[in-house]
Amino acid sequence: MKRAHKAFEERTIDELTVEDERSFLHVAPYVDLKEILRRSRYTFYVLPQTRAERWDRALFLNLTFWGAGGDVLVGDTIPADVVAHVAWHHLANHAFARPRGRPKSADALFLGEAIASAFDVYLVGRLLGHAPKSTFLATQVPAMAEAAQAAGLSAARFEAMLQGIARDPDRAFEDLRALLCDATAALADCNDAADALRALRRFDGHRFAALLHRYELSNWILYARAYAGEARDPRVRTVDRALRRSRAPIEYLAAAWVAPALDR
């Protein structure tokens, strides 16, 4: 059923066509993540079908207001990787929910976004060699290669990076997730460009340093500075430490966040 919502039309996941989903069905916990959106009747916002409403406008709205809920789509289709991304955000919002009127902490915002973003690398690792016709791989791998090349990584080293991701997608997920959390925490405390440059240089030796600027970190930091609460959330430290210690971080999240959500 189509419903009007101010400037948008509303859709649930059942009212959308999921692109490239066949490539993802063997990937745990994709099916459960989609089911969580279905059971919660998560609302997506669809731009009106006019010439003025384009994909770049939807991208702008999502990047600028990413903590406000309700992802903006151009039409009635959604890529399967975006389904997973949205579901991780939805779970993080529940895990770090605050009393009404109190904003989430910056570290909670950063952890939720880091998990959702790093899951893309996990998906790359799971799909490489298993779903060669995946449109997700057809777009993600070239985008990763472009970011790596801009950072000075050679084609041979980028290929080695991909092979490492495919060998151990869980480790790749956690390494990138931790990097994104550590980098945003360090950058959020910087007062000027010189401080930020020193902070960035601390991560130059990380295996995924060449991908760091692919993740729009300026949006994360500026959004947190504008809207986040000042205090840190102790629940974030608990999850962060558990993920760093886990040999199977995706399984940890499935047990800590996904299974309880399905039970609810």
Q: For residue 128, what pLDDT is reported?
A: 96
Give the mean pLDDT of 105-109: 96
**Residue 173 reports pLDDT greater than 70:** yes
**Residue 4 reports pLDDT greater than 60:** no
- Distance CA(141)–CA(162), nearest Å, equals 9
* Local confidence band at 264 (pLDDT 50, 70, 90 cut-offs): confident
pLDDT, mean over the chain? 93
Number of domains making up the chain: 1
- Distance CA(67)–CA(112), nearest Å, equals 10
Residue owning tokens 């609810």: 264
| Residue 201 structural domain | 3-263
Q: Please, which residues bridge with residue 1 across strands?
A: none
CB 33, CB 116: distance < 8 Å: no
pTM more than 0.75: yes
* Local confidence band at 132 (pLDDT 50, 70, 90 cut-offs): confident
Give the mean pLDDT of 39-65: 85
* Segment among 2-11, 52-61, 173-182, 193-202 with least mean pLDDT: 2-11
Q: For residue 51, what pLDDT is reported?
A: 61
Q: For residue 53, what pLDDT is reported?
A: 60
* Local confidence band at 68 (pLDDT 50, 70, 90 cut-offs): low
* Local confidence band at 65 (pLDDT 50, 70, 90 cut-offs): confident
**Residue 253 reports pLDDT greater than 90:** yes
Give the mean pLDDT of 151-161: 98
Give the mean pLDDT of 168-184: 98
Q: For residue 69, what pLDDT is reported?
A: 63
CB 68, CB 84: distance < 8 Å: no
- Distance CA(232)–CA(72), nearest Å, equals 29
Q: For residue 6, what pLDDT is reported?
A: 66
